A and B are shown apart, each in its own frame.
Chain A
Amino acid sequence: MKKEHFQENCYVSGHTACAGCGQSMAVRIVMNTAGKDTIASNATGCLEVFSSKAPESAFGVPWIHSLFENSAAVASGVETALVHQGKKEGINVIAQAGDGGTADIGLQALSGMLERGHDVLFVCYDNEAYMNTGIQRSGSTPFSASTTTSPSGKHSTGNPRPKKPMVEICAAHHIPYSATSSIANPKDIEIKVKKALKIKGPKYLQIHVPCPLGWRSDPSQSIDVAKKAVETGLYPIVEYEYGKLTKSRKISSPKPVSEYLKLQGRFRHLLKDAKALAEVQQVADKNIEYYGLK
Chain B
Amino acid sequence: MAQAAKLCRPGVIAAYPITPQTHIVENLSQFIADGELDAKSVNVESEHSAASCVLGSQAAGVRSFTCSSSQGLILMSEVLFCIAGMRLPVMLVCANRALSAPINIWNDQQDSIAVRDAGWIQLYAENNQEAVDLIIASHKIAEDPKVMLPAMVCVDGFILTHGMEVVDIPEQKDVDEFLPPYNPPYKLDPKNPMSFGLLGTPDVYLETRYAIQKTLGDVLKMIPTVGKEYQDKFGRDSLRLIEEYKTDDAETILIAMGSVCGTIKDVVDSQRKQGKKVGLLKIVSYRPFPKQAIKKALDSAKNIGVIDKDISLGSDGALYSEVKSVISSDKKISGFIAGLGGRDIKAKTVEEIINLSEKEENSCRFIDLNKNILWEEFKTI
Which of A48, A67, A91 lies in contact with B52, CB distance below 8 A?
Answer: A67
- Residues of chain A in range 35-71 having any CB-CB distance to chain B below 8 Å: 36-39, 41-42, 48-49, 52-55, 57, 59-67, 69-70
Q: A54-B200, A112-B46 are in contact. Are A77 and B12 (CB under 8 A)?
A: yes
- Range, interface on chain B: 35 or more
Which of B60, B79, B193, B197 lies in contact with A82, CB distance below 8 A?
Answer: B60
Q: Is the CB of A78 within 8 A of B204?
A: no
Whether A108 sits at the interface, judged by CB under 8 Å, is yes
Q: Identify which of A57, A72, A73 gathers the most chain B CB atoms within 10 Å of its CB.
A: A73
Min Cβ gap A175→B in Å is: 15
Number of A-B residue pairs at CB separation under 8 A = 159
Min Cβ gap A148→B in Å is: 23
Q: A49-B199, A77-B54, A78-B56 are in contact. Are A108 and B40 (CB under 8 A)?
A: no
Whether A170 sits at the interface, judged by CB under 8 Å, is no
Min Cβ gap A24→B in Å is: 15
Q: Is the CB of A81 within 8 A of B11?
A: yes
When distances are taken between beta carbons in the complex, the residues of chain B under 8 Å from A108 are: 45-46, 49
Min Cβ gap A41→B in Å is: 7
Which of B12, B48, B52, B78 lies in contact with A84, CB distance below 8 A?
Answer: B12
Which of A65, A67, A80 lies in contact with B53, CB distance below 8 A?
Answer: A80
- Range, interface on chain A: 35 or more
Bound-state Cα–Cα, A59 to B58, Å: 20
Min Cβ gap B366→A in Å is: 37
Whether B164 sits at the interface, judged by CB under 8 Å, is no
Q: Which residue on chain B has the smallest CB distance to residue A58?
A: B195
Q: Is the CB of B53 within 8 A of A74?
A: yes
Encode B92-127 as 1/0 by CB contact (under 8 A) with A.
Answer: 000000000000000000000000000000000000
When distances are taken between beta carbons in the complex, the residues of chain A under 8 Å from B79 are: 66-67, 70
Whether B225 sits at the interface, judged by CB under 8 Å, is no
- Residues of chain B in range 17-76 having any CB-CB distance to chain A below 8 Å: 38-40, 42-46, 48-49, 52-62, 64
Whether A75 sits at the interface, judged by CB under 8 Å, is yes
Q: Which residue on chain A has the smallest CB distance to residue B189?
A: A62
Which of A49, A60, A64, A81 lies in contact with B196, CB distance below 8 A?
Answer: A64
Bound-state Cα–Cα, A108 to B197, Å: 22
Whether A5 sits at the interface, judged by CB under 8 Å, is no
Q: Is the CB of B11 within 8 A of A77?
A: no
When distances are taken between beta carbons in the complex, the residues of chain A under 8 Å from B52 are: 66-67, 70, 73-74, 76-77, 109
When distances are taken between beta carbons in the complex, the residues of chain B under 8 Å from A48 are: 197, 199
Whether A286 sits at the interface, judged by CB under 8 Å, is no
When distances are taken between beta carbons in the complex, the residues of chain A under 8 Å from B39 are: 84
Bound-state Cα–Cα, A115 to B38, Å: 23
Whether B198 sits at the interface, judged by CB under 8 Å, is yes
Min Cβ gap B247→A in Å is: 43
Which of B44, B60, B78, B193 lies in contact with A81, CB distance below 8 A?
Answer: B60
Q: Is the CB of B43 within 8 A of A116?
A: yes
Whether A111 sits at the interface, judged by CB under 8 Å, is yes
Bound-state Cα–Cα, A253 to B162, Å: 69
Bound-state Cα–Cα, A236 to B120, Å: 47
When distances are taken between beta carbons in the complex, the residues of chain B under 8 Å from A80 are: 12, 14, 40, 42, 53, 56-57
Q: Is the CB of B61 within 8 A of A52?
A: no
- Residues of chain A in range 64-114 having any CB-CB distance to chain B below 8 Å: 64-67, 69-70, 72-85, 91, 108-109, 111-112
Q: Is the CB of A53 within 8 A of B198?
A: yes
When distances are taken between beta carbons in the complex, the residues of chain B under 8 Å from A74 are: 52-53, 55-56, 59
Q: Is the CB of A59 within 8 A of B193?
A: yes
Q: Is the CB of B193 within 8 A of A63?
A: yes
Whether B82 sits at the interface, judged by CB under 8 Å, is yes
Whether B190 sits at the interface, judged by CB under 8 Å, is yes
Encode B165-195 as 1/0 by CB contact (under 8 A) with A.
Answer: 0000000000000000000000011101111
Bound-state Cα–Cα, A85 to B40, Å: 10
Min Cβ gap B221→A in Å is: 29
Q: Identify which of B48, B57, B82 gathers the most chain A CB atoms within 10 Å of its CB.
A: B57
Bound-state Cα–Cα, A42 to B52, Å: 12
Q: Is the CB of B82 within 8 A of A60?
A: no
Q: Which residue on chain A has the smallest CB distance to residue B38?
A: A84
Bound-state Cα–Cα, A74 to B197, Å: 12
Min Cβ gap A291→B in Å is: 29
When distances are taken between beta carbons in the complex, the residues of chain A under 8 Å from B372 are: none
Bound-state Cα–Cα, A59 to B204, Å: 20
Q: Is the CB of B60 within 8 A of A78?
A: yes
Q: Which residue on chain B has the smallest CB distance to residue A65?
A: B197
Bound-state Cα–Cα, A68 to B194, Å: 20
Q: Is the CB of B59 within 8 A of A70?
A: no
Q: Is the CB of A64 within 8 A of B59?
A: yes
Bound-state Cα–Cα, A61 to B195, Å: 8
Bound-state Cα–Cα, A54 to B204, Å: 8
Q: Is the CB of A64 within 8 A of B57?
A: no
Q: Which residue on chain A has the smallest CB distance to residue B205?
A: A54
Bound-state Cα–Cα, A91 to B204, Å: 32
Whether B201 sits at the interface, judged by CB under 8 Å, is yes
Min Cβ gap B88→A in Å is: 10
Q: Is the CB of A73 within 8 A of B56?
A: yes
Q: Is the CB of A54 within 8 A of B201?
A: yes
Q: Is the CB of A67 within 8 A of B82?
A: yes
Which of A52, A60, A62, A91 lies in contact with B199, CB distance below 8 A?
Answer: A52
List 12 other contacts, CB 8 Å, given A52-B197, A59-B193, A80-B56.
Answer: A39-B60, A53-B199, A60-B193, A63-B193, A66-B52, A70-B48, A75-B56, A76-B56, A77-B60, A81-B57, A81-B61, A109-B48
Q: Which 3 A-B pairs have the closest CB atoms?
A: A77-B56, A112-B45, A73-B52
Cross-chain pairs A/B with CB under 8 angstroms, 5 sampled: A52-B199, A62-B192, A77-B58, A85-B61, A85-B62
Seen from chain B, the residues whose Cβ lies within 8 Å of a Cβ on chain A are 11-12, 14, 38-40, 42-46, 48-49, 52-62, 64, 78-79, 82, 86, 188-190, 192-201, 204
